[in-house]
């Protein structure tokens, strides 16, 4: 009845009866940001110096003169957010430095453009309507955190640029300073 297995050697399992193995292979499609990270890793070693900022990133770096041309400080004051002036200024400056740090990498510029585009779209579709409806600051801040900052942080994946949620908030203030978003009604 019992099988002796003494002295057996094998390159795998030795089983004296039935063996069942379950293998689950789960393949997840790569996100656009993950693909950019892959390009970034390769390009960091191979890419020659890029002397200019990409056209799409330049759009976010330039002041949008078609709409609200107030600076970040004026926008925050108009929205009764004076308590954020110092932090917003520091975070915006930090965001500017991040963009400047990666200005020579075309792929890093694409990553930053992707993030800025996500922040802009999420703010425009979720936060701006709440501001226009006259929602409270607490409600607006919650929307900014839940619908703008957290989703952007979550989408970072491998996060090769090492961006923190504070960096993402800085990028949002950067967009505000360049007239792409605002915290008060039109």
CA separation for the pair 62, 58 (Å, rounded): 6
pLDDT score for 20: 86
Three-class SS string for the chain? Answer: CCCCCCCCCCCCCCCCCCCCCCCCCCCCCCCHHHHHHHHHHHHHHHCCCCCCCCHHHHHHHCCCCCCCCCCHHHHHHHCCCHHHHHHHHHHHHHHHHHHHHCCCCHHHHHHHHHHHHHHHHHHHHHHHHHHHCCCCHHHHHHHHHHHHHHHHHHHCCCCCCCCCHHHHHHHHHHHHHCCCCCCCCC
Tell whether the model's pLDDT for residue 49 goes beyond 70.
Answer: no
Where do the structural domains in the chain lie, given as residue ranges?
32-177
Cβ atoms 16, 3 nearer than 8 A = yes
CA separation for the pair 71, 123 (Å, rounded): 17
Place 152 in a pLDDT band, splitting at 50, 70 and 90: very high
pLDDT score for 11: 75
Between residues 52 and 128, the one the model is more confident about: 128
Can you tell me the mean pLDDT for 47-76?
76
CA separation for the pair 117, 111 (Å, rounded): 10
Query: 77: Cβ–Cβ under 8 A, 6 or more apart, which residues?
Result: 85
pLDDT for 5-34, tens place per residue? 677 777 777 777 788 888 888 777 778 778
Taking all residues of the chain, what is their mean pLDDT, rounded to a whole number? 86
The Cβ of residue 13 has, within 10 Å, a number of other Cβ atoms equal to 7
Place 39 in a pLDDT band, splitting at 50, 70 and 90: confident
């Amino acid at each position: 009845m019992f099988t002796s297995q003494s002295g057996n050697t094998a390159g795998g399992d030795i089983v004296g009866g039935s063996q069942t193995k379950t293998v689950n292979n789960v393949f997840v499609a790569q996100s656009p940001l993950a693909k950019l990270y892959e390009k970034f890793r390769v390009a960091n070693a191979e890419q020659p110096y890029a002397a200019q900022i990409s056209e799409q990133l330049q759009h976010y770096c330039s002041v949008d003169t078609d709409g609200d041309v107030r600076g970040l400080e004026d926008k925050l004051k108009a929205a009764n957010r004076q308590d954020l002036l110092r932090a917003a200024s520091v975070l915006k400056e930090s965001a500017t430095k991040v963009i400047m740090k990666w200005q020579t990498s075309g792929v890093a510029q694409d990553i930053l453009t992707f993030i800025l585009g996500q922040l802009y779209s999420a703010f425009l579709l979720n936060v701006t309507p709440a501001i226009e409806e006259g929602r409270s600051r607490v409600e607006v801040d919650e929307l900014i955190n839940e619908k703008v900052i957290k989703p952007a942080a979550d989408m970072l994946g491998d996060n090769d640029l090492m961006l923190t949620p504070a960096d993402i908030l800085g990028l949002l203030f950067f967009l505000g300073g360049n007239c792409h978003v605002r915290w008060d009604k039109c």
